[in-house]
Chains A and B, each alone.
Chain A
């Protein structure tokens, strides 16, 4: 385990929570492969094929996003992240009627992983994005899929920047809530 990873992640999340979007993006990009292998391990332990692993990764990233205020800045960030990931894995398994005990004491081994992987495709967002109000869906799609900035999305959709921000946040919050509401 790289000791500096914890301090790097915590300073990135601290910056992110203070409004630094590029620090936040860097953090999430670092987390994605780590979460991916953690999720795969969890599914393997439950003897479930890991075809849906990327869905759970996406649900976890959304949960981290919407709940990032629940991290206390002076506390270690890695256990917080893996507790959220474990929660999402257990939830996903429960939906299939499976229960597993998933200790996170051994998460340290995942911190070392930094394999460069191509970006993976998950179905979670696609499955739920159509249920969003159309403005929220258009904003999320413009920024996520077409790679527009807030300003570009505002121009393209003839909205104010503030309205785009609000729609983006509400859309992401609604997507995160979709993961919670289906039992």
Chain B
């Protein structure tokens, strides 16, 4: 076929995607988040007296920190889903957040007696954490990937990883309201690993599903 003929067909098709990518991501995430909440409620629910202890710095940190990551990962995924999108400022902010996490671990090491380090690191239910965070991330990840499919990521694997970070951060924040292990040693290690798993799944799915 002549390229001019193709152009004629393209020009005759006026249909343009009207929903902005950011809103599409929202529409993808909301049902995913609802599914996770429906799992969370009957399955584990919040820890007893959550509201009474939530101002305790360690508990506050382990809930707010993933939320901060979540807030950055959304715009990051959107930038990565667009040709010429600029991910750098968001990567820089995420880098600062990583330093904050390292800072929290260092502070914890200072305030915690040395013989408790191992105990707090291992915690009560590392395995449950490693299972539940990815479980609560699964539906939001699917929703985010479906939304990003409308985009045109220059690097589909990277965009998928950002979707994984977004979904994983949500899963971590949700699980944090239940989890009895509050030490940053535990959070940095096990939450971190769980989110990395979700990111890896996102990258793998993205490199296939987000191609265009």
Evaluate contact between B10 and A24: CB separation under 8 angstroms. yes
Asked if B43 lies at the interface with its beta carbon under 8 angstroms from chain A, I say no
What interface size band does chain B fall in? 20 to 34
- Report the Cα distance A75→B83, complex, angstroms: 11
User: Are A70 and B3 in contact, with the CB atoms below 8 A?
Assistant: no
Contact A150 B21 (CB under 8 A): no
B52 on the interface (CB 8 Å rule)? Answer: no
B:9-41 near A, CB below 8 Å: 9-18, 20-21
The docked-state distance in angstroms from the alpha carbon of A87 to that of B81 is: 13
- Judge whether B84 and A145 touch: CB under 8 Å: no
List B contacts of A165 (CB < 8 A): 13-15
Interface contact tally, CB-CB below 8 A: 119
Pairwise interchain contact B13-A62, C-beta atoms closer than 8 A: no
**Interface bin, chain A:** 35 or more
- Among A119, A140, A143, the residue within 8 A (CB) of B2 is A119
A112 at the interface (CB under 8 A from B): no
B211 at the interface (CB under 8 A from A): yes
Kindly list chain B residues whose C-beta atoms are within 8 Å of the C-beta of A69: 16-18, 20-21, 150
Q: A25 touches which one: B11, B16, B81 (CB < 8 A)?
A: B11
A29 engages B4 (CB within 8 Å): yes
Query: Are A120 and B7 in contact, CB atoms less than 8 angstroms apart?
Result: no
A135 an interface residue at 8 Å Cβ cutoff? no
B114 — which chain A residues lie within 8 A by C-beta? none
A41 within 8 A of B: no
Bitwise interface map of B from 31 to 63 toward A, beta carbon under 8 Å scored 1, else 0: 000000000000000000000000000000000
Nearest chain A CB to B25 CB, angstrom units: 13
Is the Cβ of B82 less than 8 Å from the Cβ of A32? no
B111 within 8 A of A: no
CA of A138 to CA of B49 in the docked complex: distance in angstroms? 66
> Which residue in chain A gives the minimum CB-CB distance to B19?
A69
In angstroms, Cα B131 to Cα A102, docked, is 41
Contact between chains at B13 and A61 (CB < 8 Å): no
Chain B positions within 8 Å of A, measured between CB atoms, are: 1-18, 20-21, 81-84, 150-152, 154, 211-212
Instruction: List 7 tightest A-B contacts by C-beta distance, closest first.
Output: A25-B11, A119-B4, A83-B83, A144-B9, A69-B17, A67-B152, A144-B5
Q: A58-B3, A70-B82, A119-B3 are in contact. List 12 more A-B contacts (CB 8 A).
A: A19-B14, A21-B11, A22-B11, A28-B10, A29-B4, A71-B83, A122-B1, A165-B14, A168-B12, A168-B13, A169-B13, A176-B212
Listed A/B pairs (9) with beta-carbon separation below 8 Å: A25-B10, A54-B3, A57-B3, A58-B1, A65-B13, A83-B84, A87-B83, A147-B8, A165-B13
